Amino acid sequence: MTQLLQRPDGDDARPKAPPTNEEQRQALQRMLLVVAAGVLAAIATHTTKTVAVIVAVMAMIMLHEFGHFTMAKRAGMKVTEFFLGFGPRLWSVRRGETEYGVKAVVLAGGYVRILGMSNLEDVDPADEPRTYRAQSYPKRISVVVAGSVMHFIIAFLLLFVLNSVVGVIHPERTGADVREIIRFDGGAPSPAERAGLRIDDRVLRVDGREVTKPSTLTGYIRQHPDEPIDLDLLRDGRVQRVTVEPVDASSVRVKGKRVTGDHVGFVGVSVGEPYRVDKANPAVALGRAGRDLGRVSWLSVRGLADLVSFHGIRSYGDQLTGKTPPGDPGEQPRLLSPVGLVRVASQAADSGLREVLFLLVAINIFVGILNMAPLLPFDGGHVAIATYERLRSRKGKRYQVDVAKLMPITYAVVMLFVFVAITALYLDITKPLKF
């Protein structure tokens, strides 16, 4: 995000004196202590994978700001700050005319400070030609849209990797895949173990009846305790038959707990929907990545529209007041706080690389679209102002928007997002979402 909310006082607006070497050393030590504490906490709670996802999100934020930074430099603008995060400064270093650093609340975003983002800022006359406001319309637009463009580029590359390297899951129409062989307490082999069932076996038929979905298999097994049943399996490309005799589930204990109190059959397997993994060649993957980018972008636009609709606002209010219980099918999607993001990242990391990549795709596209909202302090607000100025300008006379008149709206937007951030944090703690 390019920074707008600045004090018009000239002394406050100008860059501060660069920190001394000792100050830089102390700040670096503070940052390393914070990072080390986070890593140790992650190891202690077995969330190392989650940390990797959070680092990826931080890299995404940095690339967003790098897009602004690069285009501003190419346009000849003066960039005085490039920071990851908001709040108290943890560490910074000055290189040339720009101060680079990290602030405490990293997951809240970042910013690039470019001189003269509005007519409220008092700038040294010598620097005026290098301000944002002094540049042409194409240069200003290229700078403010660069952040969102970076998000879409990242999303496209991730989708390409998903389609070509990791592979996309396509559900199969019939069958049930064995996901886990469950061991009984006491060391006695389960019926599945005795029959020789293996993980990744696909059950096609049970006693000659086609298995159309996992519940078809589990339902049949439950109805036939202590009765041998035949299973037709697909294993290593070949179909073979095994016989398994379900035991009475009420007599079985797994991990210290009785499976159920009902007299139903149980063989000791966990089954799931069958699927195949499709990996495309690079040429095909490029086309699919573009298609998926458009599809997810459209879903994100619809999701944002739902959030700000009457129904979405009412649903959000119901969640806050407790009228909608957690996990209710009618619960509307909502924005996540950093706490919610960490939890969802942890769930995605536990599910595997495919889910992590798709989560990052969704985050990038959502942020890229949200950031183009035509309101300050979003980048889309700067696009709207620059475009309006272009339309109002006449040959030889450039029109300039009085940003001071827009500040009440800007502060209202900021306060709205502060409210959403606080309430999202509350909901993520009291009613966490599942990925």
**What structural domains and CATH numbers belong to the chain?**
10-167+344-430 (no CATH), 171-277 (2.30.42.10)
* pLDDT tier for residue 406 given thresholds of 50, 70 and 90: confident
**Coil, strand or helix at 247:** strand
Q: Are 266 and 221 in contact (CB under 8 A)?
A: yes
- Residue 175 CA to residue 170 CA, distance in Å, equals 14
**CA quadruple 43, 45, 46, 51: dihedral positive or negative?**
negative
What is the Cα gyration radius of the chain?
Answer: 28
pLDDT tens string 204-256: 999 999 998 888 898 999 999 889 999 999 998 899 999 999 998 888 888 88
* pLDDT over 50 at 12, yes or no: no
pLDDT at 8: 40
* pLDDT over 50 at 17, yes or no: yes
* pLDDT tier for residue 344 given thresholds of 50, 70 and 90: confident
- Residue 300 CA to residue 358 CA, distance in Å, equals 13
* pLDDT tier for residue 329 given thresholds of 50, 70 and 90: very low
* pLDDT over 70 at 191, yes or no: yes
CB atoms < 10 A from the CB of 380, how many?
19
Higher pLDDT, 304 or 335: 304
**DSSP letter assigned to residue 277:** E
Q: Encode burial over 88-100: b for 16+ CB neighbours within 10 A, e otherwise.
A: ebbbbebeeebbb
Percent of the chain at pLDDT > 90 equals 27
Q: Which helix (H) or strand (E) holds 86?
A: strand 79-95
Higher pLDDT, 327 or 352: 352
Average pLDDT, the chain: 82
Q: Which helix (H) or strand (E) holds 24?
A: helix 21-44
Beta strands (DSSP E) in 253-393 are: 253-254, 257-258, 265-266, 269-272, 275-278
**Coil, strand or helix at 114:** strand
pLDDT at 292: 94
- Tell whether pTM > 0.85: no
pLDDT at 154: 95
* pLDDT tier for residue 10 given thresholds of 50, 70 and 90: very low
Q: Are 123 and 148 in contact (CB under 8 A)?
A: no
* pLDDT over 50 at 6, yes or no: no
Q: Which residues pair with 364 in a beta bridge?
A: none
* pLDDT over 80 at 32, yes or no: no
pLDDT at 11: 43
pLDDT at 412: 86
Three-point CA angle 395, 397, 402, nearest 5°: 135
* pLDDT over 80 at 44, yes or no: no
Higher pLDDT, 43 or 321: 321
- Residue 161 CA to residue 167 CA, distance in Å, equals 8
**Coil, strand or helix at 142:** helix
* pLDDT over 90 at 270, yes or no: no
* pLDDT over 60 at 321, yes or no: yes
> Distance between terminal CA atoms of the chain?
27
Least confident of 43-47, 111-115, 178-182: 43-47
* pLDDT over 90 at 297, yes or no: yes
Least confident of 27-36, 46-55, 161-170, 292-301: 27-36
pLDDT tens string 126-176: 988 999 988 999 999 999 999 999 999 999 999 999 999 998 888 777 888
pLDDT at 325: 59
- Residue 26 CA to residue 32 CA, distance in Å, equals 10
Q: Are 364 and 152 in contact (CB under 8 A)?
A: yes
* pLDDT over 70 at 20, yes or no: no
* pLDDT over 60 at 203, yes or no: yes
pLDDT tens string 56-68: 888 888 899 999 9
Higher pLDDT, 224 or 52: 224
Least confident of 128-132, 234-238, 338-342, 385-389: 338-342
Percent of the chain at pLDDT > 70 equals 84
What residue spans of 75-136 are helical by DSSP H? Answer: none
